[in-house]
Structure 1
Amino acid sequence: MPHPTAHEPATGSCRCGALQMQITAPPFMTAACHCDGCRKMSSSAFSLTMMVMRDAFKVTAGAPVEAGRGDSDMLTHYACPQCHSWCYTDVAGMDFVNLRPALFDAPAWTEPFIETQRAEALPWVPELAPHAFDRFPDPAAFPELIAAFARARP
């Protein structure tokens, strides 16, 4: 699936389809997180995320339910009330949301460009992305990471 433009929204849904979402702009970053919380939320060795500007995201069907908070009150996770799929995370005070990219039909969006919390990665998980951080990148590094991501994507 090609990356959407403002005139070509991309749609995604939870496992059962009761919660439907739409984005009107492609992600500005993709990531894999290895923290213990993300591993437990995703029931996997890491979680995948794509960062999308808040004004480019909307729920088009269903009503997500809060599925927990992160280690701080900054993160609120949302899931489908029917199948309980973890669909997205709202980051308080930020102008973006973290969506689970596998819910959309764009395989390139599941490829992480950065990895966070590598210090907590399971020992058998190889580095997956061109940029890996033991914790989170310094906020000052994000403009260049975002620019590098944009250059690396068609």
Structure 2
Amino acid sequence: MPAPHTGGCLCGAIRYEVTSEPVAAALCHCRDCQYVSGGEPAAVVIVARDALKITKGKPKSYSVVGDSGKHVTRQFCENCGTPLFSDVEANPAIWVVKAGSFDDPSWIKPGAIFYTSSAQPWAHMDANLPQFPKMPG
């Protein structure tokens, strides 16, 4: 499905648009993503920084220090709690958008699985996707 792609939170307080095709899509099993997703991996879409436009509302932020030693700031709706985006200080050229926050996420095709070393024993792993114990690179 060609861009633009629209999305937002469950209650509608925050809306956004992604104006170009994503750089990549992946599944992440890091412990932080498990907390944010409620247990399974976070399905994410990586987009160029200038491709994400917030069109309504202002997300709340929460920052942690990632494995890189740099901050990862997760943004979410303070009304309904929907996880929306991550701002990764180690790669300021991108936004990481939570796949489930798109209005129609059916077009998303994850291309890799990250942080398999943190995955729970009951987590499903697609054997056809490249798998990485941590973040590659």
TM-score after normalising by structure 2: 0.88
**Where do 1:1-154 residues align within 5 Å?**
2-4=1-3, 9-71=4-66, 72-92=69-89, 93-104=91-102, 105-109=104-108, 111-128=109-126, 130-138=129-137
Q: What secondary structure sits across from 2:25 in the alignment? A: strand
Cα-Cα RMSD: 1.5
Contact 2:82 2:101 in 1 (8 A): no
Q: What secondary structure sits across from 1:98 in the alignment? A: strand
Identity of aligned residues (%): 27
Instruction: Write the letter of the residue equivalent to 1:83.
Output: C
Contact 2:71 2:88 in 1 (8 A): yes
Instruction: Write the letter of the residue equivalent to 2:29.
Output: H
Contact 1:70 1:77 in 2 (8 A): no
The structure with more strand, counted as a fraction of residues: 2
In structure 1, the gaps of 5 or more residues are 139-154
Q: 1:70: Cα distance to partner?
A: 4.4
Q: What secondary structure sits across from 1:37 in the alignment? A: helix
**Cα separation, 2, equivalents of 1:46 and 1:70:** 19
TM-score after normalising by structure 1: 0.79
The structure with more helix, counted as a fraction of residues: 1
Q: What secondary structure sits across from 1:40 in the alignment? A: helix
Which of these two proteins has the greater Rg computed from alpha carbons?
A: 1
Q: 1:36: Cα distance to partner?
A: 1.0
**Cα separation, 2, equivalents of 1:81 and 1:100:** 16
Q: 1:45: Cα distance to partner?
A: 1.7
Contact 2:115 2:135 in 1 (8 A): yes
Contact 1:37 1:70 in 2 (8 A): no
In structure 2, the gaps of 5 or more residues are none
Q: 1:69: Cα distance to partner?
A: 2.5
